Structure 1
């Protein structure tokens, strides 16, 4: 697989949204980025606030650009706030360093991009991203 296809990205989004509904989560918004940080697909659930694209994107963008999940970014921010502040400055304030940004890998471990989910708690957002990635088949989630 050369990258993440639009079809696979849409599957990830659909499955993440289905997971959120089945778990009784608040309306989710989900974005899938390629390994260059470019948007492949995005969906905002019914009832989700309009600003959710920026948050979902920031979660996934930070994962791609820094090569670490949102959970790892949050730990880094807690341990070295100056590093994350500097990194966020480098990326124009586009990084949201909390769980919900999940790295997407192929079967060989190559990073294909990331999924960003927002709308519920960060932990629930992360669970929805992982569920979407795992349900798409042939992919591995790195939360």
Structure 2
């Protein structure tokens, strides 16, 4: 009974995530990538502490995939210049640390990468999306009072 309920909850969560991705701006997509990588690392730490080797490896693999094929792949090194190049190097460093954490079972390395990702996510949120320019009040017609 609970198994089928869990599948329903998982299906609902998947639809919610797909809807978020489809309707997201490019800025929001990067936030979603950071969120996904952070969640995967939290899961990896949980599984590492519990001694669940297979689940730990799967969670770290998910974080690696998000960092390499999401965050790193989205960098535009021509337009981004030195910042994009530095981010690329930082993402490479993170993947190396995650691989080492997996091989050596070191939760401190997971914590390190999680801190780096959280800092980048916070900085990205502070950049924020630029709101549309407000229309001047002069552009609106004056309504006659009744």
TM-score normalised to structure 2 length:
0.27
More helix by share: 2
Compare the two structures and name the one with the higher strand fraction: 1
Higher relative contact order, chain-length normalized (CA < 8 Å, sep 6+)? 1
